[in-house]
Amino acid sequence: NAGVMQNPRHLVRRRGQEARLRCSPMKGHSHVYWYRQLPEEGLKFMVYLQKENIIDESGMPKERFSAEFPKEGPSILRIQQVVRGDSAAYFCASSPPFGGAGIFGPGTRLTVL
């Protein structure tokens, strides 16, 4: 079991471009959560998804950000028209159907130039 996988590990974008971050949950986990971590800060919840459903997106900015977890394939966090303030580490976590602590991936470090 390879654990939670995220790619790319590092992503550099210029202002105005799009960023796509991918997360493959652990085998047997059906719940995916995305968190953002700014330098020297804690983890802020963004969005919670199950297959083909967004369960809670209360932490995700309403503009430019979107997330999906299709029936097949990884979960994707998409940031359109990136700005410098989007530079952060984005972590995905997954958990099994019965809940509990999430298992985190290694993160994607987004740098916006």
Positions in the binding site for another protein (CB under 8 A): 4, 31, 33, 41-43, 45, 48, 55-56, 59, 91, 93, 95, 97, 99-107, 109
**Closer to another protein by Cβ: residue 34 or 79:** 34
According to DSSP, the residues that pair with 12 across neighbouring strands are: 111
What is the closest distance, in whole angstroms, from the C-beta atom of residue 81 to another protein in the complex? 26
**Closer to another protein by Cβ: residue 61 or 97:** 97
What are the helix and strand counts (H, E) for the chain? 0, 11
What is the closest distance, in whole angstroms, from the C-beta atom of residue 79 to another protein in the complex? 19
Nearest by Cα to 67 from 55, 76, 56, 57: 76
Any idea what DSSP says for residue 66? E
Quick one: tokens of 113?
């130039």
What is the closest distance, in whole angstroms, from the C-beta atom of residue 35 to another protein in the complex? 8
**Closer to another protein by Cβ: residue 14 or 99:** 99
What is the closest distance, in whole angstroms, from the C-beta atom of residue 102 to another protein in the complex? 6
**Closer to another protein by Cβ: residue 55 or 113:** 55
Cα 44 to the chain's mean position, in Å?
Answer: 11
The span from the CA of 52 to the CA of 65, in Å, is 17
